[in-house]
Structure 1
C-alpha cells in the first residue's frame, strides 16, 4: 500500500460542535420570531447565544487548522485563534454565571460580592491562559497534526470550576431562589460538568459547545418562550390551565387559593414598583417553602393562584393559614400598606364538572363579594358560595347569549310595567316599564341581573330589546287607551355613548307611535361618569321631544345645581327619602323645601315607593304631581296596563 500522508493525519470529530451551532442558530431565530419579554435576564441570554455562535465557529476553524497542519498552519494565526476562543469562552462563563444570579433578585442586590468573584476568577483564568501561551504549552505541533489536548483541558477545567461555584452559591442561597430556578440550575450544571469531563477524556472528539449552548436553550424555554416568570418563579395562567386539566384527568383532589393585592391588580401605576417586586419575590419563595404540594401561578402583577395538591381539607387550611401569616408579615413590613385578599375553594368534583374557567370565575367572584376596602381578607369558600355563584354564572351565560343574539323578541327578557298615578287627574296617565329576566322558568329580579349585565357589557343589549318591547306594547295600547307615556330606565353605559340618542330614535321611528309617548329615566349618579357625553345625549333626545326623568333623587348624589343645569322635566324622588321624612320632621323640612324648589322652577315631581294610605296622604299634602307604589299597583306584565288606563271615548 503506497504511503498517503492524509491517511495518517490527526483527525478530530466535530459533530458535537456542528450540533451546538445548529442549536444556537435555531434558538436565536426563535428569539427574534417570538419577541419574548425584554427582561434583564433576556439581554444576557441573547448576548450569550450570539457569542456562542461566534465561539463555535472559531472552534471549528481551530479544529480544521489542527487537522490540516501542512496546508493551513501558521503559529501566530493559530495562537490568535486559540486566544480568541478562550476569550469568548471566558465571556460565556461570565454570562452564564451572571444569568443564574439574575434569576434571583435577592442575590442580584449583593453586587459587591459578585464583582469580587468576577475579578478573582477572571484574573486566575487569564493569568493561566497567558502563562500557557508564553511557555507554548497550549498546543503541540506534530507531523500528523496539532495536539490541542492542553487547550481543551484548560477551558474544560475552567468550565467545571464555574459550574461548581454556581452550584455552591445557588445551594447557599436556595431560600431566595424559586423552586424552578434551583431545579434548572442543578440540571444544567450537572449536564455541563458531565459533558466537560467527557470532553477531557475524549482527546480526538470536540463537543464542548453543547455545554454552553444547552444552558441557554433551557433558560429560553423555561423563562422566556414558556410560561415561567424569572423573577417570581411562577408560571402563567396557561400553565395553570394545563396543570388543572392534568389533575382532573388523574382524578386528584386539590384545592385552589386565589391571592390578590386589590390596590395593584387593576392599576398600571404601582407605588414603589421595585420595592414591591422584591417583596413579591420573597412572598413567593416563602409560600413555596411551605410545602412541595403548593404550585404557584402568576395571573398579572398583583394576582396569583396556588394549586394545593392535597386530599385533606385540614392540610389545605393549614397551608393557607401559613400563607396568611406570610402576607400579614408582608403587610406589616411594607410602607405602602398594600392590602391582600386570599380566597380558597376546594370542591374538586365541581371543578371537574365545569372546568378551570369556571374555577377562575368563581375565585374572582369570591374576591368581589367578600373584599372590603382597606382590609385584609382571608376566606375559605363553602357550599353556599358555590350555589350563589352558580346562579350568577348562569345569569352571566344567559346575558351573554342574549347579547350575541340581539333578538328584539327574545322571550327571556320580559317587559313588566307599574302604573303611575296622576294626583291632578286622579287617574293613571303614565307607567314605568320594568325589565325582568327569566332563566329556565325562574324569574330573576333586576337587583340581581342588572349589575351582572353592566359588569359583562350586556346592558346595552338589554336596553335595546326593552325599547323594542315597550314600543311594541305602546303601539298596541294606544289604539284603544288614553295615556301619556311609558318610561324606560337607561344605564350609565348607554348615555356615555354619544350615538345613543340616534339609536333610540331609530327604534321609536320603526313603530307607529308618537315619539313623545316614550320617556327615559336616568340617575343623577350617571352624570359623574362622563358628564359631557351624558348631557349631549339628553339635549339631543329633548330636541326630538323625548322627556327625561331624574330617577333616584335623594340617594346621596343629589346636587341641586347640577340637576337644574341638565334638560330633565321630571324629578323622581327616591322612596328612602320619603320614609325618612315621614319619621323625622327635620328631614321633612328639607323634603318639603326641595319639592317647592323644583315646582317653582317648572319641574314635575314624582314620588315612588308609596305603600300605604299614610304615605299616600303625606305625598299628596307635600304637593307631588305623581305617585308610584304598591299602594296603587304592583308591577305586572305590560299588557296589564289595560286595567289602569282609561279607554278612549
Structure 2
C-alpha cells in the first residue's frame, strides 16, 4: 500500500497525525499548559489527531466493508464525524479569546459556538437511526446521506465567523494577528475544495491542521516574543538585536508618564486599545526596530542621533494627537519622557545601557524635563555620583548614624498661637560628598530598593527623639512611602516600634500621599483603619499636586488635609485663584477635616490662609527645618 487504502489516498492524514502529535508533545514539554491560549492549541491539535486517526480507520473499514463489520464501522465513522468539527470550533473560540477583552462577551460567543457545535453533535448521534449524513448498506457499503455537506457548511460558517470577528475588532488587534486570521479560513478552504472535487484524496484532517499549524507558527510562537496588546516585540529580542548590530546604533527609550493613573481609570479594553495605538505609532517610525519594555516603556533602535531626534519629535506630536482623539475617556493627557544613547558594537552591554537610560529618565523626572535626553559626559558623571550616594546610604541607614539625620519643622496652630507639633524630614549630612539633598538621595533609594529601609530608620529616629524630649515634644508627623504602606507587616512594624520606645500611638501622625491608593486601595485602607483604631492619626500630604480624588479623601480616615504650596501660589496670582483656595478650604472644613497649609513664607500669604479658615501653618515664615537640638531649643523658648 503506497500510503493509500484501495482507491483512497491517506498520506495527508498520516502526516497530520504525526505533526499533531509533535505539537501536543511540545506544549507538554515546554510547560505551556499554564498559558490558556497554548491550551487552545493543545485541544485543537489533539482533536485533529483523534479525527485523522478515526478517518484512517474509517476509510479502511469502508474499503474492506463486510456485513460482519457493520456495527463497528458505524461506530467508528460516527466518532469521526463527532470529532471532525471540534478543531474549527476550538479555533473560533481562540479567536474570540484574542479579539475580546470583555469576559462577558467572550462567554457569550463561547456559548453561541458551543450551542451550534452541540446541535451538530446531536445530529451526528441521531444519524445512526436517520442516516441523514451517512449509512452503511449491506449491499452498497458506505452511502452518503441527504445532508452529507453539513460538515462543509459548518466549516465555512466557523471560517466566516472568524473573519467577521477579526474585521469588527481590527482596531483592537495587532496588525500581524489581524492578517493571520484573515488568511486562516482560506487555507482550510483550499484543502476542503480539493477534497470536495476529489473525494478519494483524503484531506479533511489536513484542512483543519494546516490552518492550526499556520496560526501556531505565526501567532502563538510570535506571542512568545511579541506583546499582543501593543504589537511590539519584547525585551528579549531587543537584547539580541542590540548584540547583533555590527555598526552600533542609537538606543531610544520612551517612558509614558503616570501609567498607574491611566490603568486605574481605564477599563482593560480601553487600556489595551491605548497600548495598541502607541505601538502603531512606534511601528510607523521604527517598522523593524520597535519594542515594548517592562513597566509600559517603549524602545527603538535607530541609526543616528539626528534620526532619533527627528523621529522623537514626530512621536511626541502623534502622542498629543492620540490624547485628543481619546479625550472622551482618557483621564489625563498622554505625556512621555525620552532618552537616547549611542552605542558601538564593543559597548553594547544591555544592562549597562539600561542603567544609563534609567539615570537620564530619572534626572528628567526630577527636573520636570520633557525634552529628549541625550547621553553625554555629564550623564556618566551623574551616574558615578549616584553610585557613591548608594554606597553612603547602605552604610549610613542605621539608627546610630550621625550622617543620616532627621530634622524637624514646627507646625503653627492659628487658633492656639503656638507650635503644636513637628514634621520630620530626612537629611544626609557631612558625607564624603558633602551634604546631599533629600530630592537626590531619596531618588537613589527608590531606584536601588532602599526607600523602605530609609523610611523605617527615619521612623525609629523620630520615635527616639520623642522619647528623649517628652517635656517639649508631644506629636510628630512623618511621611510614609508607597513601599512602606504596601509592606504586609506595616501595622505590626509601626505599633511595635512605638511600643519599643515607650510611646503612645497618639504621638505619631503618618503622612501619606494619594498615589499610594492607586495600586492597592483595599490593602492600604484596611491597614489605615487598624492603625487609626490603635490611635495613630493620618494626614493626606501634598493635596493639590498630581492626581487628586475627593472620593478617596472622604472615604479614608484622614484627620487633616495638607494643602500644597502650589495652591498657595495660585491663591496669590488672581482673585479666581483666591476664591478657589477659599472654597477648597471651606469644603474640607465642612467635611470635618482640619486644614494645614504648607509653604507659607510671607505675611501676606499668612493673612490669606488665616482668612480662608485654615487650622495650621507650616513654612519658612515661622521656621525652617531644624536639627533635633535646635528644634528643642526653639520649642523651649516658645514654652518660656
Range of TM-score over shorter length = 0.5 to 0.7
Write the distance in 2 (CA, Å) between the matches of 1:588 and 1:335: 36
Write the distance in 2 (CA, Å) between the matches of 1:162 and 1:581: 73
Residue 317 of structure 2: aligned partner: 324
Which SS does the other structure have where 2:249 is aligned? coil
Residue 224 of structure 2: aligned partner: 227
Q: Confirm or deny that 1:380 pairs with 2:372.
A: yes
Which SS does the other structure have where 1:293 is aligned? coil
Against the structure 1 CA distance between its residues 635 and 307, is the aligned structure 2 distance closer, same or farther, given a 3 Å change threshold? Answer: same
Of residues 33, 50, 53, the one that matches 1:54 is 50
Write the distance in 2 (CA, Å) between the matches of 1:628 and 1:101: 64
Greater Cα shift, 435-444 or 163-172 = 163-172
Q: Confirm or deny that 1:314 pairs with 2:307.
A: yes
Task: Tell me by how many angstroms 1:55 deviates.
Answer: 0.8
Runs (5+) with no aligned partner, structure 2: 125-130, 143-148, 412-420, 518-523, 539-559, 568-583
What is the CA deviation profile of residues 122-174 of structure 1, one whole-angstrom value per residue up to 9, with x for unaligned ones?
9xxx9xxx9997999xxx99xxxx9xxxxxxx999999999999999999999
Task: Tell me by how many angstroms 1:180 deviates.
Answer: 3.5
Residue 624 of structure 1: aligned partner: none
Task: Tell me by how many angstroms 1:340 deviates.
Answer: 1.5
Write the distance in 1 (CA, Å) between the matches of 2:513 and 2:32: 49
What is the CA deviation profile of residues 206-259 of structure 1, one whole-angstrom value per residue up to 9, with x for unaligned ones?
897566446535645765685367864625xxx632123213323442443436
Against the structure 1 CA distance between its residues 191 and 411, is the aligned structure 2 distance closer, same or farther, given a 3 Å change threshold? Answer: farther
Of residues 279, 283, 291, the one that matches 1:288 is 283
What is the CA deviation profile of residues 189-214 of structure 1, one whole-angstrom value per residue up to 9, with x for unaligned ones?
999899999999x9999897566446
Write the distance in 2 (CA, Å) between the matches of 1:484 and 1:171: 71
Residue 461 of structure 1: aligned partner: 453
Write the distance in 1 (CA, Å) between the matches of 2:178 and 2:587: 65
Write the distance in 1 (CA, Å) between the matches of 2:636 and 2:226: 67
What is the CA deviation profile of residues 411-470 of structure 1, one whole-angstrom value per residue up to 9, with x for unaligned ones?
7624568999xxxxxxxxx99976323676343223444577689985563354346667
Write the distance in 1 (CA, Å) between the matches of 2:485 and 2:83: 65
Against the structure 1 CA distance between its residues 218 and 31, is the aligned structure 2 distance closer, same or farther, given a 3 Å change threshold? Answer: farther
Against the structure 1 CA distance between its residues 459 and 160, is the aligned structure 2 distance closer, same or farther, given a 3 Å change threshold? Answer: closer
Residue 427 of structure 2: aligned partner: 436
Which SS does the other structure have where 2:177 is aligned? helix
Write the distance in 2 (CA, Å) between the matches of 1:276 and 1:554: 31
Task: Tell me by how many angstroms 1:327 deviates.
Answer: 5.6
**1:416·1:434 contact (CA, 8 Å) conserved in 2?**
yes
Residue 242 of structure 1: aligned partner: 236
Against the structure 1 CA distance between its residues 9 and 22, is the aligned structure 2 distance closer, same or farther, given a 3 Å change threshold? Answer: closer
Residue 266 of structure 2: aligned partner: 270
Write the distance in 2 (CA, Å) between the matches of 1:299 and 1:240: 9
Pairs within 5 Å for 1:174-253: 178-181=174-177, 209=205, 212-213=208-209, 215-216=211-212, 219=215, 226-227=223-224, 232=229, 234=231, 240-251=234-245, 252-253=248-249
Which SS does the other structure have where 2:263 is aligned? coil
**1:395·1:449 contact (CA, 8 Å) conserved in 2?**
no
Task: Tell me by how many angstroms 1:354 deviates.
Answer: 4.1
Residue-pair matches, total: 531
**Which of 1 and 2 has higher RCO (CA within 8 Å, sep 6+)?**
1
Task: Tell me by how many angstroms 1:490 deviates.
Answer: 1.9
Which SS does the other structure have where 2:620 is aligned? coil
Against the structure 1 CA distance between its residues 588 and 492, is the aligned structure 2 distance closer, same or farther, given a 3 Å change threshold? Answer: closer
Report the structure number with the largest CA radius of gyration: 1
Against the structure 1 CA distance between its residues 96 and 247, is the aligned structure 2 distance closer, same or farther, given a 3 Å change threshold? Answer: same
Against the structure 1 CA distance between its residues 540 and 204, is the aligned structure 2 distance closer, same or farther, given a 3 Å change threshold? Answer: closer
Residue 305 of structure 1: aligned partner: 298
Which SS does the other structure have where 2:338 is aligned? strand
**1:290·1:319 contact (CA, 8 Å) conserved in 2?**
no
Residue 33 of structure 2: aligned partner: 34
Runs (5+) with no aligned partner, structure 1: 147-153, 372-376, 421-429, 510-514, 542-549, 599-604, 611-626
Of residues 340, 345, 349, the one that matches 2:339 is 345
What is the CA deviation profile of residues 537-571 of structure 1, one whole-angstrom value per residue up to 9, with x for unaligned ones?
55699xxxxxxxx99899679799989x99x9xx9
Which SS does the other structure have where 1:443 is aligned? strand
What is the CA deviation profile of residues 46-75 of structure 1, one whole-angstrom value per residue up to 9, with x for unaligned ones?
6534532431231242355368x3889847
Against the structure 1 CA distance between its residues 465 and 19, is the aligned structure 2 distance closer, same or farther, given a 3 Å change threshold? Answer: same
Residue 550 of structure 2: aligned partner: none
Write the distance in 2 (CA, Å) between the matches of 1:50 and 1:325: 46
Residue 19 of structure 1: aligned partner: 18
Q: Confirm or deny that 1:490 pairs with 2:478.
A: yes
Residue 547 of structure 2: aligned partner: none
